[in-house]
Structure 1
Amino acid sequence: MSLEHRPNRIILVRHGESEGNLDDTIYERLPDHRIGLTPKGFEQARQTGTAIRDVLDGESVEVYVSPYVRTRQTLEALALPVADRDVRVEPRLREQDWANFQDPADIAEQKAQRDRYGHFFYRFREGESGSDVYDRVSTFLESMHRNFETPSAPRNVVVVTHGLTMRLFCMRWFHWSVEYFESLDNPENAQPVVLLRQPDFRYRLERPFTQWDAGVVPTERERASWL
């Protein structure tokens, strides 16, 4: 692949505030993929869309979006200047599968176990581990790179997805360790994470993720992943 065809920037966006972010009992009666945004979530996405359009400054863009209702609603509220043919609904970008209809008490117990076991390797009953999501994100990246090969490919890529998936996308892209990944916070709702192409055609994060565990010291490779 010609490096010149790589996009100028790859912008990852977490969905806006969802009904599940406010009330975790909703998972008892509504499938995770059908949970939508709150009014605040729509407004967060609209504000992020304004900021992204300013950054794009008229440059072409293609979009990949998780099939969940809240991510598709976020994309709609972003109001990006993108043609329908340049929007791909991508199931591999979905949220980590935790269960089907969920018992909040059971999920809370499993989350506590995950904190002790490790967020990357712990597998939820009836669901996925972080490493499972990493694997499907890896196959998505292979597909995305193939789409870079055409000279007419848009100059920017926007990926609308979920917080954990965003961290795992960057872990895979920059070859971060499990320990560093587990020390990072998810982005806030509707927060963009920007990978900027450098003169050597490699990418760096516009700014690093925040770390909840400052005891994990990034390696030289991990520090080199941001500006």
Structure 2
Amino acid sequence: MRIILLRHAQSLGNVDELAYCRIPDHALPLTPLGEQQATAAGPAVRRVLGAEPVAVYVSPYLRTRRTLHLLDLGDLVERTVAEPRLREQDWGNLQDPVEQELQKRQRHAFGHFFFRLAHGESGADVDDRCAAFLGELQPKMIRDPRHPKTVLIVSHGLTIRLLCRRLLAWSIELFESLSNPEHCEHRVLSYDGGVWRLDRPFAQWRDAPDGTTQLAQR
């Protein structure tokens, strides 16, 4: 069994933070570069998927759905499910730029996992919904013969890291030491003998304070 995790292509919010003040997060479009990134990523994703049927679970945000569309996976896709639990961390509705900048500084000092945004979620909240999603997905992949054994998840940087944290039993300290994948960058999780394994590590901006590492087995 495999789960391929793919971050969406570059969106307007990645190049213009003031876009969050006038456009709902879920409605932010891809940039022209993002459209090119998603189109260019298609052949690489198809090579990873191979010839097996794939179940796709995608965040319902515009930027993730558009990324999936531009991958042009065609008849490889056995089913597509828009899954709200795979959405980005919620920072609130239309954001106030001064308040959001203050919260970013506070979150960096407090810790990204437990810091609760004033009008949104903490990382722990996202972790909880990732756990609920995986708690439904894994039994389907293992026990349901109708469900493909290969899954593609198109989601967001922090959400992808938290999905890995859950499947690989990473510590919170390790999670907070990792950087998001680049736009349209993917990771592959393989399940063998009751253990999930990651194909390659994420970029890490510091060593985890507790000494744990990304590729350690459970």
Q: Does residue 207 in structure 1 map to residue 200 in structure 2?
A: yes
Report the counterpart of residue 131 of structure 2 in structure 1: 138
Report the counterpart of residue 20 of structure 1 in structure 2: 13
8 Å CA contact 2:90–2:120 kept in 1: the answer is: yes
1:35-80 CA-partner distances (Å, limit 9, x unpaired):
0111111221122221011122211101000000000001101112
TM-score when scaled to structure 1?
0.90
SS in 2 for 1:223: coil
Report the counterpart of residue 180 of structure 1 in structure 2: 174
Q: Does residue 189 in structure 1 map to residue 183 in structure 2?
A: yes
CA offset at residue 85 of structure 1? 6.0
Letter in 2 for 1:224: A
8 Å CA contact 1:61–1:86 kept in 2: the answer is: yes
Report the counterpart of residue 146 of structure 2 in structure 1: 152
Letter in 2 for 1:68: Y
Matched residues, number: 217
Report the counterpart of residue 36 of structure 2 in structure 1: 43
State the percentage of identical aligned residues: 49
- Tell me the C-alpha RMSD between the 2 structures: 1.8
CA offset at residue 178 of structure 1? 0.8
Q: Does residue 114 in structure 1 map to residue 102 in structure 2?
A: no
User: In structure 2, do the counterparts of structure 1 residues 30 and 110 end up closer, same or farther at CA, with 3 Å as the change threshold?
Assistant: same
SS in 2 for 1:224: coil
- Matching of residues 71-90 of structure 1 within 5 Å: 71-82=64-75, 86-90=79-83
1:94-127 CA-partner distances (Å, limit 9, x unpaired):
0000011001121111000001100000011110
Cα distance in 1, alignment partners of residues 7 and 208 from structure 2: 26
SS in 1 for 2:197: strand
Letter in 2 for 1:202: V
User: In structure 2, do the counterparts of structure 1 residues 95 and 215 end up closer, same or farther at CA, with 3 Å as the change threshold?
Assistant: closer
8 Å CA contact 1:205–1:225 kept in 2: the answer is: no
Cα distance in 1, alignment partners of residues 12 and 217 from structure 2: 33
Cα distance in 2, alignment partners of residues 139 and 215 from structure 1: 26
Cα distance in 1, alignment partners of residues 160 and 103 from structure 2: 22
Cα distance in 1, alignment partners of residues 217 and 157 from structure 2: 18
User: What are the ranges of 5 or more consecutive residues in structure 1 without an aligned counterpart?
Assistant: 1-6
- Which deviates the most, 44-53 or 146-155? 146-155
Letter in 1 for 2:146: S
8 Å CA contact 1:93–1:161 kept in 2: the answer is: yes
8 Å CA contact 2:29–2:62 kept in 1: the answer is: yes
8 Å CA contact 1:61–1:81 kept in 2: the answer is: no
Cα distance in 2, alignment partners of residues 216 and 82 from structure 1: 45
Cα distance in 1, alignment partners of residues 217 and 155 from structure 2: 21
1:123-182 CA-partner distances (Å, limit 9, x unpaired):
111100000000011000011123212123213100000000001101111111111000
Cα distance in 2, alignment partners of residues 52 and 208 from structure 1: 18
Report the counterpart of residue 216 of structure 2 in structure 1: 224
CA offset at residue 82 of structure 1? 4.5
Q: Does residue 166 in structure 1 map to residue 154 in structure 2?
A: no
Letter in 2 for 1:110: Q
